[in-house]
Structure 1
């Protein structure tokens, strides 16, 4: 397991390798990564739907509790585990390729080009996953309620809130990928990914690719109808008035879609509940309009301009600027004194040996002795290499002389 200084070399190499891939490989890897995250998202939605459905049966109201979100978040790290083990590229982690620019191993335009390609691959992968799931009718009533809940939550924030939230998001996600480079073992990588991504999921910070995946689910299942439940008559009147005032539906259409029925929430207690049957698109559009009165456009445009665009900028900034610049300043600045990261580590180890094996207490004196020792070791290694070369040259010359004879 490498420490943060020695792992910096791995991060540099990771960033450099990302700039060397051919464009179609970048696109394909981006598609695969997004599909893997979408698979984890399906499991996340299903777990939340089970909890929400239990609340519906118990109280007559679909509700997601903190414990439901806590438990469902345990499954979400599987997406990044699949990417790490099977291979794939996410826009958010590929922002670390900026390290190659700082190290003068890649040009800025090439990094931006590759980021654009992988982002497009991630978007196409999300749409493909959503289309396949739609063909399989994977999401029904309870799952659609979860999708409505998640999308409403994501498009009901102001753009600057999402911008700052997404900065924290990619500190975790890009930091996860950086951290996995510190170990080669699959078990170690899995443990790192699990705790980091679980933390990211629980906090609810905005990740542009994860958000686009849930939006893709909403777009592909937008015309699917399900019943939105209400516990009281006053609640449905308030909700209906909001929909009519917003110009989304008319009062005549609303009356034709109201479902009035009796539902037993407990064996000994019955309460009147109301339902409104309509497409997922209309329900998200109505529910997502409560916090953003200044925006007159529907949730699909909010998804792009209010959520995805600020999340894209925030994720890029933290992954391409904050993390690389911070560790470049901390690690590379010190490394320049000795030339390479490896030589700095060797120097530190030599200083420790000097302090342990001698009676020198002063660190500056120990550095001088360590420097002299390293120089001597380098001279001895050079002599050994020269002897090997001379020995090899002698053998070659003997072979040549034999051939001449």
Structure 2
């Protein structure tokens, strides 16, 4: 009995011809399915949004590598522009509630830039991650697309941050008291609001010049991770919500803006947007190299960016699963249709590989 179990659990190894034969049989079965409900305009708004988000992201994974990378670069530049606007808008305000509302209102505009000028977030791609477990797509294709877009996001924010630093705005934009003494610069504001504040206990400890403890590190990682999960609940819903508008541009923009407004006022951790803070901290080290600045920069990448990536991925997996169950009758058809396209591509890939040999 034990031997039988081992044989059953052993991974099946097929020749290329056997794989093609197996895939063709599966394609024949999938072709018998009626996919017409996926193409109806009469479905409910939430169903329509789910269907078209699935398709848009699936197609996006197959874009040319340079196009994926440049989409990330553009989105990164737009994020830099918007975060700079947020920094200016909140620079001299001491009321936290007003600061949060302004942040939400200004940051929400980034989606208008992306929608009308182009761009892509890696966090939007993550909406599709649960389908990988259903063998709809190869992990290599999904991870390559995510990697290219994310690399573009980082480069785009970096380009903006470097030019912003060189403009002198960080030092020359100042807040003075009644006597004319400088209270803080725009650079100080960004360092605090978009840097140390997002590191919670670790940020406080570094500012105080204290040695980091294991408790502070684990608390910060936990806070960032949980916040990032909530963040991608909203980011994924923003993408789906805009598609639910059935082509109505105004309604799509309202859906996008509202959900990003909720995300921004809460200050949730976003593995792309947080690179604005990371780049500003890195550039601060270059312009003013000291132990405090250096510690804040490396700690931000290690204890904010990395946990945020994991949290965003988990958040997309959770909300994507819930939305898939809610739209189950359409999700089943979408998965079958995507699986069929994937198998056709796999057959082409195997045949091309044989020709090259």
Asked which structure has the greater CA Rg, the reply is 1
Which has a greater percent of strand?
1
Residue 108 (1) aligns with residue 143 (2): no
Pick closer, same or farther for the CA change 1:160–1:340 going to 2, 3 Å.
closer
Say whether the 8 Å CA contact 2:234–2:260 is kept in structure 1: yes
User: Whole-Å Cα distance in 2 between the matches of residues 71 and 155 of structure 1?
Assistant: 22
Give 2:327's match in structure 1, choosing from 327, 331, 335. 331
Mapping of residues 354-373 of structure 1, within 5 Å = none
2: CA distance between counterparts of 1:11 and 1:169?
18
Answering whether residue 227 of structure 2 is matched by residue 165 of structure 1, we say yes
Deviations 1:99-129 (A, max 9, x none): 6546755322210111111111111111111
Could you tell me whether the CA contact under 8 Å between 1:16 and 1:99 is conserved in 2?
no
2:157 to 119, 126, 133: 126
Separation (CA, whole Å) in 2 of partners of 1:17 and 1:340: 13
Contact residue 126 and residue 212 of structure 1 kept, 8 A? yes
Cα distance change of structure 1 residues 64 and 148 upon mapping to structure 2, 3 Å threshold: farther
Q: Deviations over 1:143-175 (max 9, x none)?
A: 112112121101234101100110001111121
The partner residue of 1:208 within 258, 271, 296 is 271
Counterpart CA distance in 1 for 2:242 and 2:54 is 14
Matched, 1:148 2:144: no
What residue number does 1:246 align with? Answer: none
Shift of 1:69: 2.7
Unaligned 5+ residue runs, structure 2? 1-42, 175-184, 202-219, 336-357
Name the one with the larger helix percent. 2
Give the conservation status (yes or no) of the 8 Å contact 2:281–2:296: no
| Worse-matched range after superposition: 94-103 or 136-145 | 94-103
- Correspondences of 1:6-405 after superposition (within 5 Å): 6-51=48-93, 63=94, 65-98=96-129, 101=132, 105-140=136-171, 141=174, 142-150=185-193, 151-157=195-201, 158-183=220-245, 184-222=247-285, 224=287, 279=288, 285=292, 298-319=295-316, 321-333=317-329, 336=332
| Offset at residue 212 of structure 1 (A) | 0.9
Quote how far apart the aligned CAs of 1:19 are.
Answer: 1.3
Residue 53 of structure 2 contacts residue 239 of structure 2 at CA under 8 Å; is this kept in 1? no
CA contact (8 A) 1:31 1:124 kept: yes
- The Cα of 1:50 is off from its aligned counterpart by 2.9
How big is the shift at 1:282?
5.1
Gaps of 5+ in 1: 52-62, 225-278, 287-296, 342-405
Residues 159, 102 of structure 1: CA spacing in aligned structure 2 closer, same or farther, 3 A cutoff? closer
Is contact 2:77-2:157 (8 Å) kept?
yes
Question: Root-mean-square deviation (CA), in Å?
Answer: 2.4
- Which TM-score applies when normalising by structure 1? 0.60
